[in-house]
Structure 1
Amino acid sequence: MKGRWRIPLSRPSITDSERTAVMKVLEGTVLSGGAATTRFEQLASDRLGRPTVLCSSGTAGLFLALRAVGVTAGEVLTPALGFIATAHAIRLAGATPRFVDVDPDTLCVTAETMEAAWTPEVSAILPVDLFGTPVPRAVFDLARDRGVPAIEDACEAFGSSIDGIPCGALGDVGVFGFYPNKTITLGEGGLVACGDETIARRVRSIANQGRTGPAMDFDGDGFNFRISELQAALGVAQIERLDHLIAARTAVARLYRDALAPIAGVSPLADVPPRSFRSWFAQVVILDEAALREPLREHLASRRIETGLYFPPVHRFSPYDTSPTAPGGLPVTDDLAGRTVALPFHAELTADEIDEVTDALAQVLHPHLEGERQR
């Protein structure tokens, strides 16, 4: 038996282009800080319209972004619905996350939910483009009006945009992650998209032990958040295929939408608002009944179909269960907490595999229809 899962939750798209690029680095002598790193940053900057700096992960990128804009204390407004790394980065930078509720359709924060949570202690905001859905521009306008920096967690949104502006370029700083389940991958890696060259220099310095010039010229604290040339070379081959990968994942999302349409009791993510484009990170569905989530996951697992929990709310984990929230709590986040489940999703998922996944889902939600859905 090859692997536990016949249909895995995610799978990177790796071709001969990626293999050739990595082997070319191995045949040389420069394994860090070379031409591949420079090339990836240039390609990313061309897409985003701002300076970029590669780093070791999206989490590292969030920390670098916070430090580069001067966040070392106070409260940072951020959603609880999302991956815990965002809160970790805030705390590591020296600040405190204050959790904000989300819109029930987009699952992203809004200017209204941000404003409801605002306190005099807010030193920055850190909205998340959850599952690739762009955060409304009004959120960033609010930060500008209040005079605090906006760091955009676009780790799941490489290729997304709103009003023609790429996600990652909406705030003072934007951050991307390139874990293997993302639209493109470096194996591990992150990217900080900086609003100006001053921020970019700060990010680059902190990520490289505080260096500002020659090898032994330091003027501040820093860490090693660099990536290798092997990762960067893989990334160059991936970013050169980005448009193809986005199109393929969009096609998979459409197949899922069609397959889920006749199944009552489950809903795909809502369409993004007009003038927005979602670069799909995951196929997350919302169940009508939370009690059916574990039976559903168990049934799919029995058929060797992998599912995931994207994401348990951060304020329910012990490191953050006493963290401040908006007055009145997080009713939308809490309602969604037990009803979301991630289905298999990647660029190479086939129509037959999608049918098998949704058939299995229907067998749990509507067991009396099982015979009718047999193909």
Structure 2
Amino acid sequence: MRKIFVNEPVLDGNERKYLNECIDTNWISFEGPFVKKFEQGMAELTNRKYAVAVSNGSVALDTAVLALKIGEGDEVIMPTFTIISCAAPLVRVGAKPVLVDSDPYTWNMKVEDIESNITSKTKAIMVVHIYGLPVDMDPVLELAKKYNLYIIEDAAEMHGQTYKGRPCGSFGDISTFSFYPNKHITCGEGGMVLTNYEVLAERCASIRNLFFSSKKRYIHEELGYNFRMTNLQAAIGLAQLEKLDRTVAKKRHIGALYNKLLKDIGGLQIPVEKTDYADNIYWVYGVVLDDDLPIDADEFIKRLGEEGIGCRGFFWGMHEQPVFKEMNLFEEERYPVAENLARRGFYIPSGVNLNDDDQEYVVEKIKLILNQL
């Protein structure tokens, strides 16, 4: 059977060369030179002064929350439609995630719902750019200024994307990236925290490295974590960063071809191609089943899987997560757009290793299933 994976990374740049350099020099740990080079490259990409490499995108968010000293009783406004890595750091420190629903077209957080959720306890807004289009940032920046709030910007899916010409990852007081295998830049696992504030950068670096004292190594004034990135990870990440423009171009080609092949097919909502502030970068190519189709996303994914096509469902809202229900969080809260996206949305193969024939095969099988329905 033909097999098309939901995502495959492409390692055809300097990845092997840089890894061999790590091995030849014995620099495989955090203190190797590629960590600094990767940090510098990501800072340049996002027009940031400081970048702090960490072991994955989830702990990048932990680091951001800890660096801003968000804690017990604080409130942070965030989308319900996102990965649990965004809410978990808040819950761990005793802060309260205050959720907003999604825009039904861009799938990003509904910006117009933010202000009504601001209280005297609100300390930050966590912006999460979803799937290919950035959040409309100007209104968020205005609210943060008006109410003196921090912005945590999760740009995990936005490598190479811009908002009104400015790079995603440049908007938050602290911004974060992930380098998981399905990202535009990957090093297997890895993350980055970025800021323009020296004091925050220094605090992030200390959190990452067990809060070793600058005066005497094994003296610790706070409890930190081992969130360090290895030189091996950074070597791969730097090689991936070097070819980011090519990756983004390929992703947009994939998106454009899917748009062409799917535009006249009934039963599916396809991604918004562009807004007045950004062109879609198609980190993944998501579709949402119309309400009148008699199956949900899980069943559609199963049927495509029987044809050798790998797919993945959309995020499940934070307010419906069993772990948070056990904590009595988000009781009686409903977010209908996010709930619909979770049940009827999924993304089809859209990794950079995909070719046009693969896409045509995927669409052929989608049509077949829709015709059967």
TM-score, with structure 1 as normaliser: 0.92
Matches within 5 A, 1:1-375: 6-15=3-12, 17-32=14-29, 33-50=31-48, 51-73=50-72, 74-137=74-137, 138-213=139-214, 215-289=217-291, 291-292=294-295, 293-321=297-325, 322-324=328-330, 329-367=334-372
Deviation, structure 1 residue 273: 1.5
Residue in 2 that maps onto 1:371 = none
Partners of 2:233 and 2:80 in 1: CA distance? 30
Moved more, 83-92 or 236-245: 83-92
Deviation at 1:328, TM superposition (A): 7.1
CA distance in 1, matches of 2:9, 2:141: 32
SS of 2:114's equivalent? helix
Distance 2:100 2:274 in 1: 20
SS in 2 for 1:253: helix
Q: Secondary structure at the match of 2:233?
A: helix
CA contact (8 A) 1:211 1:218 kept: yes
Number of aligned residue pairs: 364
Q: Percent identity?
A: 30
Distance in 1 of aligned mates of 2:339 and 2:119: 22
Q: Give the Cα–Cα distance (whole angstroms) in 2 for the partners of residues 128 and 148 of structure 1.
A: 16
What whole-Å deviation, never above 9, does each CA across 1:45-97 have from its counterpart, x for those lacking one?
11111111100111100111111112113121111111111111221233121
My pick for the range that moved more, 62-71 or 173-182, is: 62-71
Shift in CA distance, 141/156, structure 1 to aligned 2, threshold 3 Å: same
CA distance in 1, matches of 2:213, 2:193: 17
> In the superposition, relative to structure 1, how do residues 291 and 116 fare at CA in structure 2: closer, same or farther (>3 Å)?
farther
Q: 1:333 Cα deviation (Å)? A: 1.4
SS at match of 2:19: helix
1:217, distance to aligned residue in structure 2 (A)? 4.9
Rounded Cα–Cα distance in structure 1 between residues aligned with 2:120 and 2:102: 21
Q: Could you tell me how far apart the structure 1 residues matched to 2:324 and 2:44 are?
A: 38
CA RMSD of aligned residues (A): 1.9
Q: Specify whether residues 81 and 100 from structure 1 end up closer, same or farther in structure 2 by C-alpha distance, changes over 3 A only.
A: same
Inter-CA distance 306–45: structure 2 relative to 1 (3 Å threshold):
same
SS in 1 for 2:150: coil
Aligned partners of 1:183 and 1:280 also within 8 Å: no
Checking the alignment, whether the CA contact within 8 Å between 1:184 and 1:242 is kept in structure 2 is yes
Shift of 1:16: 5.2
Q: Structure 1 residue 161: deviation in Å?
A: 1.1
Which has the higher mean CA deviation after the structures are superposed, 17-26 or 291-300? 291-300
TM-score after normalising by structure 2 = 0.92
1:151-172 residue CA offsets vs partner (Å, 9 max, x unmatched): 0111111111112211111121
Q: Relative to 1, partners in 2 of residues 1:20 and 1:291: Cα closer, same or farther, differing over 3 Å?
A: farther
Structure 1 unaligned blocks of 5 or more: 369-375
Offset at residue 272 of structure 1 (A): 3.1
Question: What is the distance in 1 between the residues matched to 2:120 and 2:368?
Answer: 51
**Judging changes above 3 Å, is the alpha-carbon distance between structure 1 residues 212 and 269 closer, same or farther for their aligned structure 2 residues?**
farther
Shift in Å, 1:128: 0.6
The 1:317–1:161 alpha-carbon spacing in structure 2 relative to 1, beyond 3 Å, is same
Code of the residue aligned with 2:201 in structure 1: it is: A
1:20 partner letter: K
Counterpart-to-counterpart distance in 2, 1:169 and 1:259: 34
Instruction: Give the SS at the match of 1:71.
Output: coil
Q: Could you tell me which runs of 5 or more consecutive residues in structure 2 were left unpaired when the two chains were aligned.
A: none
In the TM superposition, structure 1's runs of 4+ consecutive aligned residues that sit over 4 Å from their partners are none
Report the residue type matching 1:47 in the other structure. Answer: L
CA–CA distance in 1 between the matches of 2:39 and 2:274?
A: 28
8 Å CA contact retained: 2:7, 2:349? yes
